[in-house]
Amino acid sequence: MVRHFLRDDDLTPLEQRQVLDLAKAMKAAPLAHRALEGKSVAAIFEKNSTRTRLSFDVGIHQLGGHPVVVDGRTMQLGREETIEDTSRVLSRYVDAVVWRTYAQKRMEAMASASSVPVVNALTDEFHPCQVLADLQTVEERLGRLAGVTLTYLGDGANNMAHSLLLGGATAGLHVRVAAPEGFQPHERYLADAAVRAKETGGSVEVITDPVTAVTGADVLVTDAWTSMGQENDGRDRVGAFRRFQVNADLLAHAADGAVVLHCLPAHRGWEITDEVLDGPASAVFDEAENRLHAQKALLAWLVSQP
């Protein structure tokens, strides 16, 4: 059966380990791996993207493949063609499909009709490629993953929160989500992450007080308070999230040597201050670079599955 990567827990803990090890090897020798020689990969974007679009394009090229990067808003998909028919056609041309879209149900529909691997390049619910890069970055900085305490602050109901819960639990992390009432993780995803954490020795927790949530944490992560597609939902996000800003005062409560991550783009002065983003704890640009290595490893792993 063809393997897809639609959400973080589509990889078992062992498989996630394999992908992260491969990512490390690819980072050490960027042009030494040719897993996509003679293959083409479609990378389709229905939402804006800088990092994901560029890193998939370059990464597919480095693996010897041909990247077909498409603005999804110009496809027939945006008119009346169904996702499933689009998927059947793509399977006749390319060896994998990378897609950034809105609802996770759309991603599942794409995968359901695909005979080639489908990779989630961000949906409203998950951003699993980002979390592979985040895990690679944490391991580089701290030398380990299992047992690390990671606190995510901000919109606990967004794609990054859900993916950090599932992907972090898969890696054996203790994942804390610090979010106000009304912006907490989807119960079902939290429960799925708890099941995975039980297997790996990790844990998951939702905390409403930001200081409690960051106390002793090894990693702090934040993200935009307003995700793509939420711009006009009329919710008071600044009022809800102000206390969750990652600033020097909050960082002072974290463990010594704590690492700060942000998937970017950052809204400086809102979810994170310049002082922290540009300071010694920040690993955000290594994190952005690791998108390239982690996604190359993921694609190479997916196309090598029997």
- Residue 202, token pair as written in the block: 């990790």
Q: Does 160 bind ligand NVA (CB under 6 A)?
A: yes
Whether residue 7 lies in the annotated active site:
no
Q: Which helix (H) or strand (E) holds 97?
A: strand 96-100
Q: Which stretch binds ligand NVA (CB under 6 A): 21-29, 68-76, 139-147, 219-227?
A: 219-227
**Partner whose footprint covers residue 227, from ligand CP, ligand NVA, none (CB < 5 to 8 Å by kind):** ligand NVA
Cα gap 90→253, rounded to integer Å: 49
Nearest residue (CB) to ligand CP, 52 versus 222 = 52
Among 227, 282, 290, 295, binds ligand NVA (CB under 6 A): 227
Q: Does 49 bind ligand CP (CB under 6 A)?
A: yes
Q: Does 222 bind ligand NVA (CB under 6 A)?
A: no
Cα gap 23→64, rounded to integer Å: 16
- 50 among annotated binding-site residues: yes
Q: Nearest approach, Cβ of 29 to ligand NVA (angstroms)? A: 28
**Partner whose footprint covers residue 114, from ligand CP, ligand NVA, none (CB < 5 to 8 Å by kind):** none
- 90 among annotated binding-site residues: no
Active site residue: 4, 7, 100, 293, which one?
A: 100
Whether residue 291 lies in the annotated active site:
yes
Burial class (CB in 10 A: 0-12, 13-18, 19+), 93: exposed
Residues 6+ apart with CB under 8 A from 139: 20, 24, 145
Q: Which helix (H) or strand (E) holds 221?
A: strand 219-222
For residues 211 and 124, the answer to whether their CB atoms sit within 8 Å is: no
Q: Which stretch binds ligand CP (CB under 6 A): 47-55, 193-201, 250-258, 297-305?
A: 47-55
Whether residue 184 lies in the annotated active site:
no
Residue with token string 């951003």 = 127
Q: Does 7 bind ligand CP (CB under 6 A)?
A: no
Among 91, 120, 130, 136, binds ligand CP (CB under 6 A): 130
Whether residue 130 lies in the annotated active site:
yes
Cα gap 249→259, rounded to integer Å: 15
Residues 6+ apart with CB under 8 A from 154: 161, 178, 179, 183, 222, 223, 224, 225, 241, 244, 271
Active-site positions read 100, 127, 130, 223, 263, 291
The residues that touch ligand NVA, with contacts defined as CB under 6 A, are 122, 158-160, 223-224, 227-228, 263
